[in-house]
Structure 1
Amino acid sequence: MIKHLLLLTMAKLLLCHTALAATQAYPMPRTHVAPITNSVTGGLYELYIKLPESYDADTDKSYPVVYTTDAYWHMDLLSGATEFLMPEVILVGISWQKNMPATIDYGHRRAFASRFRDYSFVAHEKEDIQTKYQFGQADMHLAFIRHQVMGYVEDNYRTNIDENAYLGYSMGAEFGAYILLSHPDTFKHYILGSPSLDLMSFDSLKKLEAPTAEQTGDVQANVFVSIGELEESRMDLTQQFTALLKSREGNGLSVSGLEVVKDSDHSTAVPETFVRGIKWLKQLISKDSDT
């Protein structure tokens, strides 16, 4: 009787363990999560840091870093693209703010509500939306990235700071455009996929460009811009933005031109944008290492 009870108990435990194992999340290999708090705003973020396979074996080697925003959406795809195209790189995904005010009803946007504030550099024209989401604080988020996020990564990992790169898509690419024109020395390489520009934000970028245009001689930056062929509403402004950058090309600034992803809209252009962008980045970094 006791033997039967013991076997029954073991069977139940095995079933419970199997059920729990079946629901466990699959961890991304060689990746860990580092909580980080914005010392100015108190906003809590997370860094998702993926190391290359050779990191522990070759302790004398330093690695380029690709930083990306919208990390919850991007890390899986970026990890897949780099695993074969550019395996010798550190990936750093920057999350959205985790402790947004509980008193504000963000609805289904709660998880990513902070991106509207952090990645934008102009206020929203509708007062109620502006009050809720606080658009236009890209400068504060950039300061957080420059001083805290990059500082943490460089203090704790073997990084090649001369090859830092940024990858942003949609609002993240709009934020990347702001970084490029306001603090171009933040990164050496910029991958900007389908930037979500409108007339107000593009006008603001042109105003940023004017006082920094004379700095081209001191800027060492390479820029990749892409858009989906079917993004008709964004095409004109994206072309104008690329032309603005091309007009400053030379003396350290290099622009790939506008990469158009055929038969793709804003959503379906994402995978090929990442693959093309990483291939472009790998070629540039390989060229730098050969010189």
Structure 2
Amino acid sequence: MKHLHLVGAGLLVALFCSACEQSSKAEVPSAVATGPAQTSSPKAEDQNFPPVELAGTAVHELRASGTERQYQVWVSLPASYSESSETYPVVFVTDAAYSFPLVRSIRNLLGQRGRHIEDFILVGLPPEQGLTSKESRSRDYTPSNPLHDPARRAKVYSASQYGEAAAYRDYIESQVFPLIARHYRADMERKVFAGHSLGSLFGSYVLLTKPGMFQSYILGSPSLWFDKHEILRHEETYADNHTNLDANVMMYIGMYETIGPSERHSSGPDMVGDMQYFERRLQSRKYSNLFIGSEVIKDEGHLEVFPSLISRGLIWALPGRDPNITG
């Protein structure tokens, strides 16, 4: 088990578009000339600077059973953890290279040690080691493989593998959950899922196949359009076999994630409409024990909405002693 370090620009890269997956190493600008001889500063990577370390974090290594896939599991404990003997709810976040440091900071600042958001153990689920985030998430977060149809090998489906959400779901349930329960004072009856984009599609898939894995679902900008709305087939299958769906679900999306007149509006699928239809469809089933709601967040688009939605979602899922934020 190791502490989590932030090394290089790639760890905080935005994960939600393939154009953002490449990062370059920054060089220190050349020194200003102070005499006849002008020299360049050495490259940052040559100066052996210590990495930034996130306090209160740990890294666990896991190999997914039956595969050669090696994953890490990142854990961040709240400041109050060492001061008590209590158990804590657990928030699991996908796309952890982006979401983990952000959610950790939101818990610490906005949460105010349980005042606005109940303290929780944060678990990050980063990509498979050795793969780009695009390749790992395209495979692990999607419930079907659109590449079976050669006519659909378009730019939107540019990864090499898709459709292994079931295997990734089972890896989390059978390996990640026991690891967290074994090493931490985790209340495994109060697990919260949080995802965005394809990560949220994965959360929707878990909701419709093994809903009891999590008690609450924060689904941000879910990519329900994927593979001709394949997720709706899973919804229909679940509805055909169940009258109960024991889960609390809150969905969020940016107002510009739909077709519209401005440059900020989407030129692709109507994700706002998809989310609202998904909500109405689940509500129409009249499942017992299901709460589902949604919010369209003003002045936000797909890439920038996550900080807003995860703040709202955490206050909804784990309200603190005084969840009303002031000043």
TM-score range, shorter chain: 0.7 to 0.9
Tell me, in whole angstroms, the C-alpha distance in 1 between the residues paired with 2:243 and 2:216: 15
Partner of 2:199: 172
Tell me, in whole angstroms, the C-alpha distance in 2 between the residues paired with 1:173 and 1:148: 21
Equivalent residue runs for 1:147-226 within 5 Å:
147-198=174-225, 200=227, 202=229, 204-213=230-239, 214-217=241-244, 219-226=245-252
Tell me, in whole angstroms, the C-alpha distance in 1 between the residues paired with 2:211 and 2:189: 13
Displacement of 1:261 in angstroms is 0.9
Secondary structure of 2:217 counterpart: strand
Superposed CA offset, 1:26-84 (max 9, x none): 2222111111110122211111100111222212x111000011100101111122223
C-alpha distance 112-28 of structure 1, shift in aligned 2 (>3 A)? farther
C-alpha distance 268-199 of structure 1, shift in aligned 2 (>3 A)? closer
Tell me, in whole angstroms, the C-alpha distance in 2 between the residues paired with 1:261 and 1:159: 32
C-alpha distance 116-178 of structure 1, shift in aligned 2 (>3 A)? same
Equivalent residue letter for 2:292: V
* Match among 255, 259, 263 for residue 299 of structure 2: 263
CA-based RMSD: 2.4
Verify: 1:252 aligned to 2:326, yes or no: no
Q: Whose helix fraction is larger, Structure 1's or Structure 2's?
A: 1
C-alpha distance 78-207 of structure 1, shift in aligned 2 (>3 A)? same
Equivalent residue runs for 1:271-282 within 5 Å:
271-282=307-318
CA contact (8 A) 2:145 2:162 kept: yes
Tell me, in whole angstroms, the C-alpha distance in 2 between the residues paired with 1:212 and 1:279: 29
Identity fraction in percent? 30
CA contact (8 A) 2:118 2:321 kept: no
5+ unaligned residues in a row in structure 2: which ranges? Answer: 1-45, 112-116, 259-269
Tell me, in whole angstroms, the C-alpha distance in 1 between the residues paired with 2:201 and 2:228: 8
Instruction: Count the aligned residue pairs.
Output: 255
Tell me, in whole angstroms, the C-alpha distance in 1 between the residues paired with 2:62 and 2:180: 11
Equivalent residue runs for 1:41-120 within 5 Å:
41-59=67-85, 61-83=86-108, 84-85=110-111, 86=117, 88-100=119-131, 110-120=132-142
Q: TM-score, normalised by structure 1?
A: 0.80
CA contact (8 A) 2:143 2:231 kept: no
C-alpha distance 144-24 of structure 1, shift in aligned 2 (>3 A)? same
Equivalent residue runs for 1:19-58 within 5 Å:
23-58=49-84
Displacement of 1:262 in angstroms is 0.5
Secondary structure of 1:164 counterpart: strand
CA contact (8 A) 2:215 2:248 kept: yes
Secondary structure of 2:276 counterpart: helix
Q: TM-score, normalised by structure 2?
A: 0.72
